[in-house]
Amino acid sequence: MSAAKVKPQRISAAIEGKIKRVAVLSELIKKHRWVGLADIARIPAANMTQLRRSLRGTLLIRASKKTLIERALTECAKSQHGLEKLIPYVKGNSALLVSNENPFKVQSSLLKLRTTLPAKGGEISPMDILIPAGPTNFKPGPIVSDLQKVGIQAGIEASKVVVKKDKLLVKKGETISRDVATIITKMDIKPLEVGLDMLCVYESGTIYDSSVLMIDEAKIESDMRTAHANSIALALGISWLNDVTLPILIGKARREAIAVAQAIAYVTPDTVEMLVIRASAEMAALATHVPDAKVEGVPIAATAGAQAAPEPQKKQEEKKEERKSVDEAASGLSSLFG
C-alpha cells in the first residue's frame, strides 16, 4: 500500500498580505533607535497626511491593524528584551512609530503640530466654551432665533446681531450638542484640538509612557536658570574658586580692600583721590567753627557764606557795649576811692 501523498496547504492571498505587513513592521522596528505607539482614532485623514509630510525624515508613522502590530512586537521581542511590554498599549486605532531622533524632541515637535478643529456634535469639550457679550458678524435673520435656541440672549442693534449677555455654552468635560456645534462653528470657534498622541515609547529596554514624554521646556529652562543662580550664590558665599566665581570674588576683594584703605587713610593710587576729597570736606567743615580761619588766604567769612560772617553794624554795636561796660566799671572804682 503506497503512502498517501499530502498536498501542501495553500496560503490565501489575504494571509500572505498580512505576513508581508508583519515582516515590514518587524524590519522597521529592528532598524530604528526606538519604537512607539500612538492613538490616531480622532485624526482626520487630511490631518494625518499633513503630519506625515511635516515629520518626514524625523518620524515614520505606520498605521496597521491591532493584531498585526502585536505580532510584529512579539516577533521582535525575541531579540529586543522588554519590547513585549508595549503590547498592552496597542489599541484598535493604534499606529506604530519608529525614529532615530531623540523621542523627547519628537514629542515636542508633535505638540507644536497640533491643530484645532470645529465640533460636529457629540464630542467631549476640552475647554470651557464661553460666548462673550458684544456685536457679532451676523446680519439680522434666522440666526437670532438659532442663538436663542441654545440659550444665548441675542438681539439686533445697528443692523447687526448682538449678544446681550455672556453665556457659558459648554463646560470643560461636557458633551457638545449638535445645535451648539452648529452655532460655534458659525462663530468660527474651534474647540477641538487634534494631533498625534504618543502613548508610549520603547528604547534600549526601557518603556517611557506619555506622562514622561510630556516636557514643559519653558519650566525646565526656568528651573535651570534658578539652579544656576543659586549655585553661583552658594559658591560666592563659601569663596569657591572656579571660572565663574573668580572674577566676581577678585572684584569683591578689591572693593573691600579699597574701603579698608580709605577707612585708615592709607594712601594708594586708588585711594588718594577720595582721601583728598574727604580731607577737603573735613577741612571746610572744621573751618566754619574757627572765626578767624582762612582758607588759602581768603577769610572764612567769605568762604563759609554770608550767615557765618558778622555784619559791620553788629560789630560796631558790640564795641559800643564793651566801651560802656568799661566806663561803668571805671566810675564805680572812682566812687570807692573818693
Let me know whether 31 and 70 are in one domain.
yes
Asked if residue 56 is part of any domain, the answer here is: yes
Whether residue 335 has pLDDT greater than 50 = no
Let me know whether 65 and 206 are in one domain.
yes
Q: What is the pLDDT of residue 146?
A: 87
Asked if residue 300 is part of any domain, the answer here is: no
Let me know whether 102 and 139 are in one domain.
no
Q: How far apart are CA 207 and CA 36, in angstroms?
A: 9
CB 200 within 8 A of CB 37: yes
Q: Which of 175, 190, 205 is the last residue of a domain?
A: 190
CB 77 within 8 A of CB 35: no
| Enclosing domain of residue 77 | 13-114+195-214
The C-alpha cell at 26 is: 518587524
pLDDT digits (tens, 9 = 90+) for 248-289: 989 888 888 888 888 888 888 888 888 888 888 888 888 888
Asked if residue 229 is part of any domain, the answer here is: no
User: What does pTM read for this prediction?
Assistant: 0.56
Let me know whether 80 and 202 are in one domain.
yes
Q: Which of 214, 249, 279 is the last residue of a domain?
A: 214
Calculate the alpha carbon distances from 284 to 277, 294, 327 in Å: 11, 10, 40
Give the confidence band of 25 by pLDDT, cuts at 50, 70, 90.
very high
Let me know whether 107 and 20 are in one domain.
yes
Asked if residue 148 is part of any domain, the answer here is: yes
Asked if residue 19 is part of any domain, the answer here is: yes
The C-alpha cell at 99 is: 525614529
Q: What is the pLDDT of residue 82?
A: 87
Nearest to 95 by CA among 31, 47, 32, 48: 48
* CATH number of the domain bearing residue 29: 3.30.70.1730
Q: What is the DSSP letter of 11?
A: P
Q: How far apart are CA 157 and CA 151, in angstroms?
A: 19
Q: What is the pLDDT of residue 23?
A: 92
Q: How far apart are CA 96 and CA 63, in angstroms?
A: 6
Count of domains for the chain: 2
Let me know whether 42 and 84 are in one domain.
yes
Let me know whether 102 and 46 are in one domain.
yes
Per-residue pLDDT, averaged over 165-174, amounts to 90
Q: Which residue has the higher pLDDT, 91 or 323?
A: 91
CB 301 within 8 A of CB 309: yes
Cβ-defined contacts of 74-79 (< 8 Å, 24+): 75/22, 75/26, 76/26, 76/29, 76/30, 76/35, 79/30
Q: What is the pLDDT of residue 60?
A: 93
The C-alpha cell at 33 is: 533607535
* CATH number of the domain bearing residue 151: 3.90.105.20
Let me know whether 207 and 142 are in one domain.
no
Asked if residue 88 is part of any domain, the answer here is: yes
Let me know whether 23 and 55 are in one domain.
yes
Asked if residue 177 is part of any domain, the answer here is: yes
Nearest to 61 by CA among 25, 114, 26, 27: 25
Asked if residue 136 is part of any domain, the answer here is: yes
Reduced 3-state DSSP string for 237-298: HCCCCCCCHHHHHHHHHHHHHHHHHHHCCCCCCCCHHHHHHHHHHHHHHHHCCCCCCEECCE
Let me know whether 200 and 89 are in one domain.
yes
pLDDT digits (tens, 9 = 90+) for 32-57: 999 999 988 888 888 888 889 999 98
Q: How far apart are CA 74 and CA 163, in angstroms?
A: 58
Let me know whether 35 and 72 are in one domain.
yes
Per-residue pLDDT, averaged over 317-330, amounts to 54
Q: Which of 159, 181, 214 is the last residue of a domain?
A: 214
Let me know whether 162 and 108 are in one domain.
no
Q: How far apart are CA 281 and CA 288, in angstroms?
A: 11
